[in-house]
Chain A
């Protein structure tokens, strides 16, 4: 990442023409070639930017950034105030809290929180149309397919229905029943699940993580 702070003017020529008059600005040149011009205000949106891939021609006082469409960003540097480069390395990407994978991991470790007596057979149990989140066995020894979502909507019920169709073709497994698990299940999804004899269970993510809520409950 190269960060240049300079008094400059910026002209964009492309689908339209835009001119930024002379002022102090931050010019960010990212490792992938993206160039963004920021003012000292606003949260994240640059005044002007050019997405990669770009070709950057850097003269003594003039930079010309040209993208694949031939659009150009011309930066005339009147006074250079700072110029530094830092190597960031590999970015691990955004990890969202409470993603399905974590829910799946937590429920695989404690399947009895879904239904009493449920035991895990396998996570990501493979079928011809994709893996079922959890394949479990209930206290009577019958197989149970569990589909886990953060938000339980009709699509999730449809997905579990397809898995159940395939799993019930296997004489070693059938009869396989289904449980649709989510932090929140939409009424329409609940109705569809009920119509297909699929049980619905809502789970509290914080509770599964062992986090104590400040909201005390009567029961």
Chain B
């Protein structure tokens, strides 16, 4: 294998693909490598931990076709350290020589035939506008659980809702739902559960322009974004029946400026230490926020708002409240509550396809 490539192009491609490379010790050693395949002027770079695979194709000046697997972190570090300009990579007897300007590195490669065969993504799929998916992922993915003991909750559910594609995530304390209307949908009753980790990588790769093609097989999902493809194993199992959790009627509605609420919670949170919640008292006078941490101190702030309902105090985990308020777009948010112990709902009038269900915290 021999090719020449601009340092910035190669670094960007390596950085993307290397994010899927296994960091766990004890895994198949060759999976700590990154696979490079050169055919003509097309270089394909693949990183994988078998659950997640990221493949990036770039145009290079190819001299000699070939396949190699190089230590991922080392290769990224070397290319990062080189200055802008052309880099030449040439393999010789199990080594890869990397030269740029007056720098030269020789790196041992892994035997490419030890690299496992990876799933080929389907060529056809569902098209989703990149801008819609970017926004939907920003709104939904943070609500997915990070706790591996409940693997189903670490995924984001994709389902059909009317003529929209619905994304749902929950960690059992909050639930985020977003309908993407400008996209082709899955089949009727078809649902898939995609690991949130894979979607975080997809979000990182997305631009605001163009389209993403979502391909599905029985066990995998693939996202084609330009010349980059992300393939992930689907999570098996049944997602909780979230529909029954959303109360059909909320007697209390507090409408506030979204950024004012966000800033106020961020300030008051400073005195909500060690899992202390923030208490929200809603009345016709506005919204009072208060946090008290024993032996540390307390903080309070009032913001203006329009309230329809009975005076009520509800406590929330401040991080989850911030996530929900941040996920909502638009100038205003509506906080709908039933009582101090039932799930509250954050909506935004400007985006009917989004809702964020948030469980209160019990306080004395």
Contacts and interface: CB of A to CB of B under 8 A. Distances in A.
Contact of B172 (A184, A185, A188, A218): A218
Contact of B240 (A184, A215, A219): A219
B148 A187 contact: yes
Nearest to B241: A219
A218 B363 contact: no
Contact of A218 (B148, B341, B343, B362): B343
A218 B360 CA distance: 10
A100 to B, nearest CB: 17
A217 B149 contact: no
A188 B27 CA distance: 10
Give 3 closest A-B pairs by Cβ, nearest first.
A202-B149, A214-B362, A217-B172
Contacts of A212: 362
A216 interface: yes
B162 interface: no
A98 B150 CA distance: 21
Given A214-B363, A217-B173, A219-B245, A184 B343 contact: no
Contacts of B341: 216
B93 to A, nearest CB: 35
Contacts, number: 43
B359 interface: yes
B357 interface: yes
A149 interface: no
Given A188-B24, A188-B26, A216 B360 contact: yes
A219 B24 contact: no
Contact of A215 (B150, B173, B242): B173
B203 interface: no
A137 interface: no
A215 B361 contact: yes
A202 B149 CA distance: 7
A38 interface: no
B170 interface: yes
